Every structure is written in structure tokens, then in C-alpha cells.
Amino acid sequence: MGVQEEQFDIYDKDMQPIGTASREEVHAKGWWHRTFQCWIWDAAEPAGEGSILFQERHPGKDTFPGLLDISCAGHLLAGESVEDGVRELQEELGVEVPFDRLISCGIFAEEDELPGGRMDREFCHVFVLPLSRPLESYRLQEDEVTGLYRMPLPVFRRLVEGLPLTAELSGAAVDAKGQLLPAVQRVTPERLVPHSPAYYRLVLDAVERLTDGGRAE
């Protein structure tokens, strides 16, 4: 017997529930569904305003392989609450935190065209997690994430403002033995999973509300 395909709750454009569907059907028919998205803000590194953590997607992913994206993200399965999304942090990054540590940025409706004429329509529940720790201490999910890179907040602001971007990001990448080792990556917009400036604005606004609070650990 084959592995049962993941099932998602699906919604109309007003975020009213209308049933459930498989992952394949959701993307083939463009149904709206929910995702959990969490950006990690490291206030300590680099010195100054800190940085936003980007993950490097595994080159075998069916969407946006090898590009840099949200620190941690995943679909909410049928019947799951938004609070259940913290499992993604543990699965992808080895980070175990209670839901009340997350700072809500709000819900962002995002539509992306996928290969093969498919459409990804997501109600993104977006959060920020203030967290400072060495990148080598993260435990990455091998088939999902191949590296982590810090984007200093001044560089991140250029994304928010829709300005041209070329930067060298310091980080850590998985080597042939599965260890996280220091790495540097030169980043242009083509190396990032596309998100609108309005989406990034949600994240930046949440971080800037925290800069006077000193909540990173």
C-alpha cells in the first residue's frame, strides 16, 4: 500500500472553509489553503540591528529548488490549527519553542504560478521568532533544507523597498557528511524565492516593533 497523500483544508477567496483536498489536487485546481511561515530574527548577529535568517531549499524540491526562502515554512494539514504549525520549526530546524514565543505578523494572501500550469494559492500565517544561536547548532531536515544564511536587517530593508539587491550573506551549509559548516553566498533577487515587497513589509514591521523590546534569547 502506498503512502497516503497529505490532505489540506481548502477555502474560498474569503477564507471560508469549503472542504478538504489532496496536495496534488490543491495545486492542480488552485484551491486556497493555509500555510505556517516563521522568520527567525537573530538580534545578536551581525552586530547592529541583527539579521533575518533565510533557509536554502533542497535542490530536489519540486518548487523553487535551491533558492533561499523563509526560515521555516510548511502547509497546515487538514484539521490542524495555526498553533500546530510550530512542528515545522522542530522538523526543519530542530527548534522547539512554544507557540506563545512567536510574534504574529498577520495573514498574507499569496498566489504563485507553479510549473505545469498549476497554481499555489495560500493564506500565509506569518510569524517572527526572536532567536539568537550559532547556525551550527541548528539540526536541518536533510531532504528539505541544505543551508542557513543571515541577511542583515539593512539589506532586508532593500527587499521591502523593492530596491536592487546584491549582497554576500554569511551562513552555514551542509557538507557531504551532513555537518553544518561556515559558508558565504552571493545573493541577487534571482537567488530568492519570489515574495512581494508588501509581504516582506509584514516581517520588517514585526521586527522593528521588537527592536526596543530585547526579546531575542
Residue 160 located in a structural domain: yes
Q: Please say whether the beta carbons of 44 and 153 come within 8 A.
A: no
In tens, the pLDDT along 185-198 reads: 999 999 999 899 99
Residue 162 located in a structural domain: yes
Residue 2 located in a structural domain: no
Q: Would you call 53 exposed, middle or buried from its count of C-beta atoms within 10 A (0-12, 13-18, 19+)?
A: buried
The pLDDT score that the predictor gives to residue 212 is 66
Give Cβ neighbours of residue 164 (< 8 Å, ≥ 6 apart).
Answer: 158, 189
The pLDDT score that the predictor gives to residue 23 is 92
Q: Please say whether the beta carbons of 1 and 12 come within 8 A.
A: no
Full residue range of the structural domain in which residue 108 is found: 7-210
Residue 183 located in a structural domain: yes
Distance CA 57, CA 145 (A): 5
Q: Which residue has the higher pLDDT, 49 or 71?
A: 71
Q: How many domains does the chain have?
A: 1
Residue 217 located in a structural domain: no
Give Cβ neighbours of residue 61 (< 8 Å, ≥ 6 apart).
Answer: 144
Residue 66 located in a structural domain: yes
The helix/strand/coil state of 115 is: helix
| Domain of residue 65, CATH code | 3.90.79.10
For residue 127, pLDDT beyond 60: yes
Distance CA 167, CA 187 (A): 5
Q: Can you give the pTM of this predicted structure?
A: 0.92
State mean pLDDT over 8-17.
97
